Structure 1
Amino acid sequence: MVGADHGTTGATNPVSSARAPAWKKVLFSVTLFGGLAACVLGSIFGGGDSGTDVPAPAVDERADTVPLLARAADDQGICYGWSLNEGWGSDPVNVGSNLGDGVAVEGNPACPRWVQVTGAVTYTSASSESSDSAVVRVTGSPDIGYAELSTIRSGLDRLGLDEDAFVDDPGWAVTRAAVMLPLLAVEAGLAQPAATPSAGPAGPTPLPAAGSDFLRDRFGWLLATLGLLLLAALLLTVGVVQRRRQPRVVAPAQRAGADTASSRTREKA
């Protein structure tokens, strides 16, 4: 009984106490290495590097481009559009045209004549030795020749919308290039320039000449001088009239003999 009592007092088995820590270490090691392996495999086979994704044009860039292309298409009878790809041959990141955002012109029954600019941008990871690159092409409907499309493509380079611009900001570059297509199409001879708006109503009749500043500034003095001259002329006229109306005084006539006698008297004296 005593021995049974000692057997149930909770004494530790030396064999089990030595094995328990070993199993815990093995379990901890397996868990740790499994987690590290999952992280490594996830980084290798997981989703693509977000730094290599080609961003689509901003919403406001697309919203501003569509009405401009729609106005040009109505005037010239040619559909204009854009396509932005992540690498050449891949599905487009974004397309758009005069028909709306997300609507392509290539193969669209509503666009028998069309011109489209396509930008294929490739971004590489930081660990890659290759550099980022872009390819810009201008395509059109079968009735538009290679010479005209080449002229439009050269015009984009001249306007600064080259491969470097597409690498720096793909969304802005592709929508800006699409806006330039109607202008370059006119330059290539594919379309006529937009009609010049008719002249508005004739302007107001010009005011008459203001006159000389000399007369306008001295009008008061001239008026006063003219008044004085008129007053002087009036006074002179009145004086002449009054002088003519005065009666003449007639001296009495002397006899001829009296004049002779008086002269003789003076001689004798």
Structure 2
Amino acid sequence: MGTADRSRFTGATTPVSSGKTSLGKQVLGGLAIVVVVGLCVWGAASGGSDDGTGVPAPATDERAATVPILQHAASSQGICYGWKLLDWTSPVDAGSNLGEDLAVNADPRCPRWVEVVANIRYTSESSESPDRAEIHVEGSTDIDRPDLDTIANGLARFGLDEDAFIDDPGWAVTRAATTLPLLAAEAGLAQPLATPSTGPAAASSPLPAAGSDFWRDRWGWLFGTVGLLLLAALFLTVGVVQRRRQLRAAVPAQRAGAEAAGRTGEKA
């Protein structure tokens, strides 16, 4: 093989080898990117979301609706009421008649207080351990433990059992807080809630004078009678008109007969 032939052979094969090498690098680079992105997504899904085991706090409207109820109860019974939600050992939410995010167990404005404490623990789907909820009622030192246990046991009457706290802990803990005044009154810790007083009602305007009841149940007979009278009047009118037509037709005939008789007499 000559030098020219070797040059042509070398020049023909070099571009093909370079193209294959570039294509292989692109494939490897794409696979590496896919692997890195997959690892990042897996790490975010497994670590960032905490495997869905976080305990949700009460909704804003649930907290806002609970505070006024507890404020009315506290002013009526002289006992502060509140709630506390825990993610096992970490606080999630708290509130009371003092306001949202304000607990009653360490506030000097509440020397006598009762609060419901819900301790929720969610386990991952891969774990064989079930979800757990521990609900108990705490109170100030002047309230006996048996009374607090009686209040805690009474929550189940309102459907606030362990399953309810596991399914929706935010709703359950605020709902439990609103039942504390009633249960405290049943336990003899306070008087029942006073019924909110309402102002005098505005004087209502007098009703219009009622009409006669004579025709109220007889309107059907009235319509039927009027209909019959109108029908009779119609028949009477038709009869009169026809009678007048008959009389008008009879008079010319009589006149024609009289004239014919007169002519016959004259000829005789």
TM-score over 0.5 for the pair: yes
AA aligned to 2:80 is: C
Among 15, 26, 33, which residue is 1:24 paired with? 26
Alpha-carbon offset, residue 78 of structure 1:
0.9
Change beyond 3 A, Cα 1:171–1:196: closer
Distance 1:176 1:108 in 2: 22
AA aligned to 2:33 is: T
Alpha-carbon offset, residue 20 of structure 1:
2.8
What pairs with 1:132-147 in structure 2 (closer than 5 Å)?
A: 132-147=131-146
What pairs with 1:191-230 in structure 2 (closer than 5 Å)?
A: 191-194=190-193
Alpha-carbon offset, residue 100 of structure 1:
1.2
The C-alpha deviation readout for 1:177-231, integer Å capped at 9, x for no partner, is 1111111112222212345789x99xxxxxxxxxxxxxxxxxxxxxxxxxxxxxx
Distance 2:181 2:20 in 1: 85
Q: Which residue of 2 aligns with 1:182?
A: 181
Corresponding position: 1:40 with 2:46 = no
Alpha-carbon offset, residue 152 of structure 1:
0.9
Q: Which residue of 1 aligns with 2:89?
A: 89
Give the structure-2-normalised TM-score. Answer: 0.62
Change beyond 3 A, Cα 1:46–1:59: closer
Higher helix proportion (structure 1 or 2): 2
Distance 1:113 1:33 in 2: 61
Give structure 2 stretches of 5+ with no counterpart.
Answer: 201-268
Change beyond 3 A, Cα 1:95–1:31: same
CA contact (8 A) 2:182 2:193 kept: no
Give the structure-1-normalised TM-score. Answer: 0.62
Distance 1:171 1:196 in 2: 28
What pairs with 1:19-168 in structure 2 (closer than 5 Å)?
A: 19-50=21-52, 52-86=53-87, 88-91=88-91, 93-168=92-167
Distance 1:19 1:195 in 2: 88
Superposition CA RMSD, Å? 3.1
Alpha-carbon offset, residue 82 of structure 1:
0.6
Alpha-carbon offset, residue 16 of structure 1:
3.3
Distance 1:197 1:63 in 2: 20
Alpha-carbon offset, residue 17 of structure 1:
4.2
Give SS of 1:49's match: helix
Aligned-pair identity (%): 54
Distance 1:115 1:106 in 2: 8
